[in-house]
Structure formats: C-alpha cells, structure tokens
Amino acid sequence: MLRIITDSSSEISQEEAQKLGVEVVPLTVVFGGTAYLDGVDLTKKEFYEKLLAGEFPHTSQPSEAQFSEAFARTEGEETLVLLISSGLSGTENAARLAKEEGGFTRVHIYNTLCTTAMLRILVETAVKYHDRSVEEVIAILDELRPRIRLYACLNTLEYLKKGGRLKKSAAFVGGLLGVKPIVTIGGTGTVELSGMAHGQKKALFAVAQKFLREETDPDYPVYFLQTDNSAPPQEIMKAVGREGNVFPICCAVGAHIGPSAAGIVYVSKK
C-alpha cells in the first residue's frame, strides 16, 4: 500500500489527514517574532484575524528534520510525497535533501507544480489509487496535473510582491486604482497574472467566466476558495450555476495572497 505525505498548503487539515491516512507536514507562518505551525498552532480563523488587524506575516518551509521524521514514520513502505510547487516554495527542496541525507530510497517526491485546492485534488487522487504501484500513481498524476485549473480574484498583489512570488512589473499593473487582479498558477508552478477587472464584483464574475469557457471533468470535484469573508465565493457559485466545497485558504498561502480574495479550482475535461 502506498503511503502519502503532503504539506499544509493542500487544504487538508490534520483531522482530515488522519481519516485519509495521509500525513500533513505543516509550513510555518511568522507574525512579528512568533512562529506558528500552519494548522497546528494557528487556525485559519486566527490567522485572518491577525492579517485583518494589520499584521504582515512571513512564511518558512518545513525543515529537513521535519521531513526526516515524517519519512522515518513510513517504516520503509513505498511513499509518495506531494508538496507545494517548487516554483512557490523551497519545501520540495528541503524534502529532497532529507531524502538524500537519510537514505530513504522508497520515498518518491513528485513536483506537483501547484498548491492549495489544486494540491488537494492531487492528494485525493493519490489516496484513491493508493493500492497501485508508485509508478502507476505518478502516471495518473502526470496526466491529471496539466488539467487542474485555479483562478482567483485578489484585492491586491502587494502581498505576492512582498513575498517575492510575483514580478514587480505585474504587481504594478495589479496596483492600478480600482483594478482587481485575477491570478492563476501556470504550467511552471508559479503565480501568473491572468486578467484584471474594475471592482471586486466584476472580478469575481470574470473568474466565473473562465470556468464557464471550459468543459469540466465530472470525475473530479469543483472547489471554491476564499481568504476571509470579505470576498464571498458564493458570487462565483451563483455565476457558474453550481455549488461546491468552500475552503478558507490556508495560513501559509494566505500570507502571500492577502485578504479579500476568492477563487475556483477545477479539472478540465480531457
């Protein structure tokens, strides 16, 4: 049986992880001089309360020691590691170093090129096929990953710019008066500016239109994302004519998104 390890950016809580038989390694969020393990020491609600109060957070990847401990707990079984995109974080690199230094030959690290509910879909798929070989599961993920889409309306690109997750030129465009940026995760696993709209309502509608232009794969869920309640994903649901699970974006990703954001994640049809 294949073991699965992911990180807290997957929107899988520690409680859910136990039910799924998955291990979630938490990323770290820092407010001031205090570090919190994402989803362990700091809840999403607490995180967004701090963010809305004006505190600017920083994030850090899990340590090699955290991954070494997680890999040791697999007891030598075939293990597939699905982490936040290497284009967004050094998390995957820390995992690779832990694998090499610890000689964990049965640990396989997959470059997901995604994060948040996109990563959740990959993890759920790997769990579904956990009775297959690691090679078979990787082949399934290779086919699936290019079809996973994420579009989100942000209030500002300032947090992405400060965190170094977006080019300054794109951040400047997104900072124009009254313009709300629409972002996506591109094929290289980095944040890309996908469009702009004047005002939040138009931006949320524009996100919905991106979904409506594609035929979705009914074998996979449609997930809706939000940071705090000031950008309701229900506006997107209404525009696309369907409902789905809503996930408050995890602390570690929310630190680079900022408040008043909402989006959609889905899988396009083959």
pLDDT, tens digit, for every residue of 33-79?
Answer: 899 999 999 999 999 999 989 888 999 999 999 999 999 999 999 99
pTM over 0.85: yes
Residues near 142 by beta carbon (within 8 Å), at least 6 away in sequence: none
How far apart CA 224 and CA 237 sit, in angstroms, is: 8
More confidently predicted of 170 and 134: 134
Task: Count CA atoms within 13 Å of residue 11 on its CB side.
Answer: 23
Assigned fold of 147-267: Hypothetical Protein Tm841; Chain: A;domain 3 (3.30.1180)
What does the pLDDT average to over 121-148?
98
Pick from 15-29, 104-118, 194-208: least confident: 194-208
Assigned fold of 3-146: Rossmann fold (3.40.50)
Helices 91-102 and 64-72 meet at what angle, rounded to 10?
60
Of the pLDDT bands very low, low, confident and very high (cuts 50, 70, 90), residue 228 is: confident
- Residue span(s) of the chain under CATH 3.40.50.10170 come to 3-146
What does the pLDDT average to over 199-203?
91
- Residue span(s) of the chain under CATH 3.30.1180.10 come to 147-267
Q: Tell me the pairing of strands 262-267 and 223-226.
A: antiparallel
Pick from 144-153, 225-234, 254-263: least confident: 225-234
As to burial, measured by CB atoms within 10 angstroms (0-12 exposed, 13-18 middle, 19+ buried), residue 146 is exposed
pLDDT confidence of residue 173: 55
Contact yes or no for 2/137 (Cβ under 8 A) = yes
The type of residue at 210 is K
3-class DSSP string for 181-217: EEEEECCCCCEEEEEEEECHHHHHHHHHHHHHCCCEC
What does the pLDDT average to over 220-240?
91
Q: What share of the chain is helix, strand, coil (3-state, %, to 5)?
A: 40, 25, 35
Q: Which residue's structure tokens are 């290779």?
A: 142
The DSSP letter of residue 260 is S
pLDDT, tens digit, for every residue of 17-38?
Answer: 999 999 999 999 999 889 999 9
Chain centroid to Cα 26, Å, comes to 13
